[in-house]
Amino acid sequence: MSYEISDFHRILILIFSLGLIGVSFWVGFVARKRVTSAQAFYGSTAMFGPITIGLSTMSGIVSAFALVGVNGLVYANGNSMGLWMMTACAGPVSFLILAKKVRAMAEVGEVSSLGDITDLRFDGSRLIKAMMSLILLLGCVAYLASQIKAGSELLAHLMGWNELISGFIIFGILTLYMVFSGEVGGIMTQTFQGLVMVIAGFIIIGSFFFVTGGFGPIVESVSSAGPVTAGGITKEFSPNMMNAWGTSAPGLIFAWIFIPIVGTVGQPQCIARMYALKDPTDVPKSAFYNCLSHVVVATVSIVVGFAVMHLVATGKVAPLARSDQAIFVFADYCGITTQLFVYAAVLAAAMSSASMYLSVASTAVSRDIPASLGLRMQPETQLLFSRVIMFIIGVVAIFFSVSNPQGVAIIGTFGWGTLMTATFPTFIIGLLWRKASRRGVSAALAVALVLNLLSLTGLKWPGTLPWYVNVIAITLLVTVGGSYLWPDTKKPDEKLELAMDL
């Protein structure tokens, strides 16, 4: 039988969760004092140390997709997501590959956004800036929606509230402090939220071993339970759930692991943090702090799913109606201490990533896309415009997330895959390969934009891999092929060459 939450415990968890939201708002509101320029609002360029950058990057990478979606996939398909632990290396790899180059770009010219980096690398190409910004907007809104959905489901599960009301309580407040302080507030609140996730992680991992006794009992129970039925829901267990790939197709699972590990290298939450680092020599320290914190949270991302499989297989918890409920069911079974920190960790993960993607999306709409069209505004006017756009995107994303029937993991992977189609040609190939040309990257982004939009309409791709893997592969081929067909004739700026050589 399942553990029932008492009304007293519900109130305690609600107070604890609202306390997290309140402290986040306070940190974000206070951060507005550090917004002394448009560059600070949009990019926090050269403003923060390695611990802040490491923790804020981790909290932006992990997101509610990992804590809610991945645990749900483990419960649904067994060991399919066991390799998720490897994602702990994704942030450090990103920093080691790109951080020196990206941070040096901020010394070559003014960098406040990802669009500014494309201006420096591709000689002010408006076409590249416009198309990259449009794809970023598409991916960021989808990923933002997945975070809002996870946070809304948290309060809806806990208090029985309407998801729309829950979304406005959490993310309406987040939108407000982001409107006040921009990226400065985003980084500072993400650092606080990342610290909460790490502390909660240790408590959740301890609860996992206390409840299950470790992986030995889990393998035994899942392999021998067979079908378990309760409340009209049946969960099928088999030894295959504990093999290397679980019950999912190996190709599909490879894509699920490949996307976050390789894709992190060019994700906005990584690149934007690179030019926010105050001292360029602190890149290795930032990577270290990022990895150290991510190991803890990545462990949480999978052990809860295994624990819930064990609890259902042994009859201690009824089969779940939806796999996304796994982490909440685990928390409710373990009791009040674990509940407090599970709900806080999920909330922190959702808020940290949401603020990051809200910032990137609003900057694309209010700054980079207008600039690509040749529109110029006075700094004060542009800041006001950006704040209005940020508020509008936040509200629209709340409505979109609640009305979308897809699960957290599905919406999240769509956003992540879409972002990769924009960042790989522009930043990965663009900064690592000098021969990447303006026309080659422009062609790749045009293809990526069209294929992403077609895939949204239901375009079917051959094979079992997710559609965005096909789009990414085509985009990379077009980038390389187009760069050889249409090479740049103009020699890059000497300072830019020095930055790319780092």
- pLDDT tens sequence across 421-465: 888 888 889 999 989 999 999 999 999 989 888 877 777 888 777
149's CB contacts (< 8 A; 6+ apart) are 64, 163, 401, 402, 404, 408, 411
Residue type at 265 in one-letter notation: V
On whether the 7-412 domain is CATH 3.40.50.300, my answer is no
Q: How many CA atoms lie within 13 A of 89 on its CB side?
A: 10
Sign of the CA dihedral 96, 100, 106, 109?
negative
Please report, rounded to a whole number, the percentage of residues in the chain having pLDDT higher than 90. Answer: 33
| Confidence band, pLDDT 50/70/90 cuts, at residue 404 | low
d(CA 125, CA 129) in angstroms, rounded, equals 6
Q: Where are the beta strands (DSSP E) in 173-282?
A: 227-230, 233-236
* Model pLDDT, residue 445: 93
Query: What does the pLDDT look like over 211-226, one tens digit per residue?
Result: 999 999 999 999 999 9
Query: What does the pLDDT look like over 8-22, one tens digit per residue?
Result: 888 898 899 889 989
d(CA 234, CA 225) in angstroms, rounded, equals 12
The domain segmentation of the chain, as residue ranges, is 7-412
- CB burial of 477-500 (b: ≥16 within 10 Å; e: otherwise) equals ebbbebbeeeebeeebeeebeebb
Sign of the CA dihedral 273, 277, 282, 283?
positive
**Single pTM value for the model:** 0.87
Say if residues 56 and 352 touch (Cβ distance below 8 Å).
yes
Say if residues 190 and 31 touch (Cβ distance below 8 Å).
no
Average per-residue pLDDT for the chain: 86
Render 23-62 in DSSP notation, one character per residue. HHHHHHHHGGGG--SHHHHHH-TT-B-HHHHHHHHHHHHH
Highest mean pLDDT pick, 47-51, 326-330, 352-356: 47-51
CA 268 to chain centre: 9
Q: What is the CA radius of gyration of the chain?
A: 22
* Model pLDDT, residue 408: 46
Higher pLDDT, 401 or 337: 337
Residue length, the chain?
502
d(CA 272, CA 102) in angstroms, rounded, equals 9
Mean of pLDDT values over 473-500 = 88
d(CA 271, CA 44) in angstroms, rounded, equals 12
Nearest to 428 by CA among 475, 372, 466: 475
Say if residues 151 and 346 touch (Cβ distance below 8 Å).
yes
* Model pLDDT, residue 262: 78
By mean pLDDT, which of 258-262, 395-399, 469-473 is the weakest? 258-262
* Model pLDDT, residue 4: 62
Nearest to 436 by CA among 122, 29, 89: 122
Query: What does the pLDDT look like over 280-312, one tens digit per residue?
Result: 899 999 999 999 999 999 999 999 999 999 999
Mean of pLDDT values over 134-152 = 79
pLDDT higher than threshold 70 for residue 25 = yes
Q: How far is CA 99 from CA 228, 275, 446, 493, in A?
A: 49, 8, 27, 20
